[in-house]
Structure formats: C-alpha cells, structure tokens
C-alpha cells in the first residue's frame, strides 16, 4: 500500500517492520521434517516428471512419498532392507 510522502525504500522498510515475526507471534514453528535428512537429487525427462505429477494428484500423495516407495522397491529388489521413508 502506497503511503504519500514516503519513498519506495522507506515504504518497504515500514512494511517489513509491520510484518509479524516468529518472535512476536509465537505460533510459527521451525520445520523439523527435514532435520537430519539429506537431499537425493536426480534429473529426469519432462515426460517422467509430468507422469509422476499425475500419479501424485491421482493418488492424493506427495512426490516424496512416491519416490520413497520407488526407492524401497529398488532396495528390496537388490536384497537390501527398505527404509520406509515417505
């Protein structure tokens, strides 16, 4: 919202100061779902990405859950213990 008489920088600083922070609201919690975890990254075709997106929507789940299931199946196929991380 533009305030008369204030420059853009001053307006942005005023808006930032007016925003609630975790310290003032007390209701914002840090994300703990990723604590102690490492990313596993791969690059795949756009078609595969779209198909996984469709599966995610059709099954009402997350991409992370689908990939966790696939990794567990790979581990089982190779005689390894699945981690069950979904």
Could you report the per-residue pLDDT of 23-70, keeping only the tens digit for each?
A: 555 566 666 778 888 999 999 999 999 999 999 999 999 999 999 999
pLDDT score at 69: 95
> Is the pLDDT at 74 greater than 80, yes or no?
yes
pLDDT score at 63: 94
> Is the pLDDT at 9 greater than 90, yes or no?
no
> CA angle, corner 49, sides to 51 and 30, nearest 5?
115
N-to-C CA span, the chain: 42
28 against 75, higher pLDDT: 75
- Cα separation of 11 and 30, whole Å? 28
């Amino acid at each position: 919202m533009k305030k008369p008489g204030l420059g853009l920088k001053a307006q942005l600083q005023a808006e930032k100061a007016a925003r609630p922070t975790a310290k003032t609201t007390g209701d914002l919690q840090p994300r703990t779902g990723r604590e102690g975890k490492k990313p596993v990254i791969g690059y795949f075709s756009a078609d595969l990405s779209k198909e996984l997106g469709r599966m995610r929507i059709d099954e009402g789940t997350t991409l992370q859950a689908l990939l966790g299931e696939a990794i567990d199946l790979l581990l089982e196929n190779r005689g390894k213990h699945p981690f069950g991380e979904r």
